[in-house]
Structure 1
Amino acid sequence: MSKYMLIMRGTDESNAAMMANIDEMMATSRQFIEDLLKAGVYVGAEGLDDPQQGVVVDFSGETPVVTDGPYGETKELFGGYFLVDVASKAEAVEWAKRVPAAPGAKVEVRRVPGSDEVPQ
């Protein structure tokens, strides 16, 4: 088994569509989590606050610079994730296809390396 993060990436348009149908989206998300639990692959899930409420710490200079809001010019923002423990990347992709998402959103699938794979 390997852990995979199903990263939800939305655009301004897909986020607006999601918010317009928030009750339906939340119900669909709860059902998706129930399906993950029943399958025994659920590890965790979290959503993130509005990107305008965050800050960016930029390390491109000698000292870090903190600015309000998301990255400039960003067309897609990380909105949350589902973490699953599955047998293969293919299985993670199949779960990603079922993630409740608004039209225009994307789900990125990335494996989470085990602690034994991290260089010492």
Structure 2
Amino acid sequence: MKYLLLKHYRGAPEPVNCEPMDKWTPAEVDAHIQYMRDFAAKLEQTGEFVDAQALAPEGAWVQYGGEGKPAVTDGPFAETKDLIAGWMIIDVESWERAVELAGELSAAPGKDGLPIHEWLEVRPFMNEPPTVTE
């Protein structure tokens, strides 16, 4: 079954060791990114990796605006309490395995090389809706 591991940069509740990335040294940022790459490579070898992507902190909120153009508002902002930093899709045999991997990913290094204990949202993909046969 496929699961989305949604990486929250801050919030829900806040990670234990999560200084804003702009306070990290270039070497600390590189170590964090390398941890993510190594984690994905390990899952590629087991056949559990599907895809992953980091997200830039800038963006916009967009909403259907009725007739005409959609409404667009600035945000989300890196200064907000909760910012989605990226995601990974895994394909594993069980919920327990998805939680195990999310826990391991949460240990990515941050400032001073310490694990950031980042919160990850684990969400199963919806199965296909049932089909009606008559």
SS across alignment from 2:33:
helix
Structure 1, unpaired ranges of 5+: none
How many residue pairs match? The answer is 114
Q: 1:106 to 1:86 in 2, by over 3 A?
A: same
Distance 1:18 1:87 in 2: 37
Distance 1:93 1:109 in 2: 7
1:81 maps to 2:87: yes
Structure 2, unpaired ranges of 5+: 12-16, 111-115
Q: Which moved more, 1:6-15 or 1:19-28?
A: 6-15
| Aligned-residue CA RMSD (Å) | 3.0
Distance 1:74 1:119 in 2: 42
Question: Which structure shows the higher helix fraction?
Answer: 1
Distance 1:19 1:81 in 2: 22
Map 1:1-120; keep pairs closer than 5 Å: 2-11=1-10, 14=18, 16-17=20-21, 20=24, 21-50=28-57, 53-58=58-63, 64-70=70-76, 74-99=80-105, 100=108, 102=110, 103=116, 105-114=118-127, 116-117=128-129
Distance 2:29 2:36 in 1: 10
Between Structure 1 and Structure 2, whose CA radius of gyration is higher?
Answer: 2
- Could you tell me whether the CA contact under 8 Å between 1:10 and 1:104 is conserved in 2? no
Letter in 2 for 1:107: L
SS across alignment from 2:123:
strand
Tell me the TM-score normalized by structure 2. 0.70
Q: Which structure 1 residue ranges, 4+ long, deviate > 3 Å from structure 2?
A: 61-64
Question: Which structure shows the higher strand fraction?
Answer: 1
Q: 1:58 to 1:106 in 2, by over 3 A?
A: same
Residue 68 of structure 1 deviates from its aligned partner by 1.2
Distance 1:88 1:27 in 2: 27
Residue 105 of structure 1 deviates from its aligned partner by 2.6
SS across alignment from 1:14:
coil
SS across alignment from 1:91:
helix
Percentage of identical aligned residues: 31
